[in-house]
């Protein structure tokens, strides 16, 4: 029997960073649904949360799962569900891109705390500023894949 535990922190934003998730009530519904959907799709979702224009998910990949496929399942189904339940005035869409970073077991609780405390965190720092800091810190640059 195979045993695999590979934790990935996935971050994705709404299309054009529109603040669709602009109330605590909407965010609560969306992230509860994402968690429920993950169980149904056999995705090991440790935690999920976010802010007005983005989401964070901490997942552990199964032996036959890929980051791309798990992210697609989470984003696609949640977008469909949000629109079906008319949680936003305009059509809800996640941006195509996402960020994914491996997380060592020794850092799991730090990442969980960070994800759970998005409201407090973003009272001090915008998502755009945070993205720019992460990109600079890790030497990432935007790449147009065309």
- Quick: pLDDT tens for 68-92: 999 999 999 999 999 999 999 999 9
Q: What is the CATH number of domain 6-138?
A: 3.30.70.1290
What is d(CA 68, CA 85) in angstroms, rounded to the nearest whole number?
26
Confidence of residue 108 (pLDDT cuts 50, 70, 90): very high
In a 10 Å sphere around its CB, with 0-12 CB exposed, 13-18 middle and 19+ buried, how is residue 84 labelled? exposed
Say how far apart CA 91 and CA 75 lie, in whole Å: 14
User: Are the CB atoms for 81 and 28 separated by under 8 Å?
Assistant: no
Model confidence at 144: pLDDT above 60: no
Look up the pTM and report it: 0.88
What residue ranges do the domains of the chain occupy?
Answer: 6-138
């Amino acid at each position: 029997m195979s045993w695999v535990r590979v934790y990935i922190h996935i971050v994705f934003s709404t299309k054009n960073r529109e603040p669709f998730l602009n109330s605590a009530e909407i965010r609560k519904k969306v992230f509860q649904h994402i968690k429920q959907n993950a169980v149904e799709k056999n995705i090991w979702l440790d935690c999920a949360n976010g802010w007005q224009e983005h989401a964070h998910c901490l997942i552990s990949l199964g032996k036959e799962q890929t980051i791309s496929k798990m992210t697609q399942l989470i984003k696609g189904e949640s977008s469909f569900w949000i629109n079906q339940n008319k949680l936003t005035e305009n059509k809800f869409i996640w941006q195509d891109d996402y960020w994914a970073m491996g997380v060592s077991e020794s850092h799991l609780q730090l990442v969980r705390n960070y994800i759970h405390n998005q409201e407090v965190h973003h009272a001090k720092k915008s998502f755009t500023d945070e993205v720019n800091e992460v990109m600079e810190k890790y030497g990432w640059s935007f790449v147009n894949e065309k």
